[in-house]
Amino acid sequence: MADTAGAEKERDALRAAHLYYLQDLTMEAIATELHTSRSSVSRLLGYARDTGLVEIQVKSPLDRLSSLQERIRARHGVTAHVVPVPDSTAEVDRLERVAMSAARILGPFFDSNMTMGIAWGSTLSAVSRHLQEKVTHNSQIVQLNGASNARTTGIGYASEIMSRFGTAFGAYVQQFPVPAFFDDPRTKEVLWRERSIRRVLEIQKHMDIALFGLGSAYADVPSHVYVGGYLDDDDFQQLGRSQVVGDVATVFYRADGSSEDIPMNARSSGPSLEWLRKVSRRVCVVSGRSKLPALRGALAAGVMTDLIIDETTAHSLLED
């Protein structure tokens, strides 16, 4: 019984630490969420500090991964970072809380003399708003896919996200001034031979970490590529015929993880999934059960090494 009580206390202390240090919730808010008192929350946080669960950042040591994280690792071969969020939380708030935790978790992953590739989108926009400053040297942030479409250049949207990452890490920002999708694959082939474009592609090839969300046409919080004027009716019909369930950096894939022979990918400016899999660390941020089909397809494709995910969606992932 004593061992069980100790394990429960450690679990509650770790959860309280996540909410307090990673999500910036007040002790009162944590007490409400955990159905306990403010003084109990204070004691849990003290226990977390005294026992080493909390140092400078909140961490769950690898030898004490939660059962949920262990199960995801065992089944899907990825390192999961599960963010505690109540089931009743609205999807927009859920995304913000996952994004806030992702921004804090990301800090130790990126350092001097490293290159990070960023795929713009609703999720990464949210993450960028919560980044904490970490000064690095000789580092750079590179945009993974173009942002312009027939209605807008996309420069304002993508550059704001990139700029936030560059400012937070003191890194040089390399934008990718091409369309998200080309009208004709042959135009892309020609442009990809230009020296200015080849230079960006070369930077992408040598990145140390790739950071991305998952696009989905069915997400409760709309994915920017599906609502931002990038796709027309013919494109949506084509994606339907190809049985697409999601995209990474505007590269589409099916439920089984395959991306070959999807016509839209010949027009996409994003890196192929084969190319992406060569990056040593690939961090995916996902929020909400409506993203489950896209997440399962991405896991089947093997595009991520790290998954930052809310607790409810993580449980649902393991239910199939």
Share of the chain above pLDDT 70, in %: 93
What is residue 217's three-state secondary structure?
coil
Stretch 32-43: mean pLDDT: 88
Query: What pLDDT score was predicted for residue 63?
Result: 40
Do residues 114 and 209 touch, judged by C-beta distance below 8 A?
Answer: yes
Distance linking the first and last C-alpha atoms of the chain: 32
Q: What is the distance between the alpha carbons of residues 83 and 101, in angstroms, rounded to a whole number?
A: 7
Question: Is 90 exceeded by the pLDDT of residue 42?
Answer: no
Do residues 119 and 211 touch, judged by C-beta distance below 8 A?
Answer: yes
Question: Is 70 exceeded by the pLDDT of residue 150?
Answer: no
Range in 51-60, 75-84, 119-128 the model is least confident about: 51-60
Closest to 206 measured CA to CA, from 214, 198, 195: 198
Query: What pLDDT score was predicted for residue 65?
Result: 43
Query: Model-level pTM?
Result: 0.80
Handedness of CA 78, 60, 22, 166 (dihedral sign): negative
DSSP string, 257-287: S--TT-GGGGTB-SPPHHHHTTSSEEEEEE-
Question: Is 50 exceeded by the pLDDT of residue 255?
Answer: yes
Strand partners, 179: 148
Range in 25-39, 118-132, 250-264 the model is least confident about: 25-39
Query: What pLDDT score was predicted for residue 56?
Result: 43
Query: What pLDDT score was predicted for residue 62?
Result: 42
Question: Is 60 exceeded by the pLDDT of residue 165?
Answer: yes
Chain-wide mean pLDDT for the chain? 89
Query: What pLDDT score was predicted for residue 49?
Result: 82
Stretch 259-283: mean pLDDT: 95
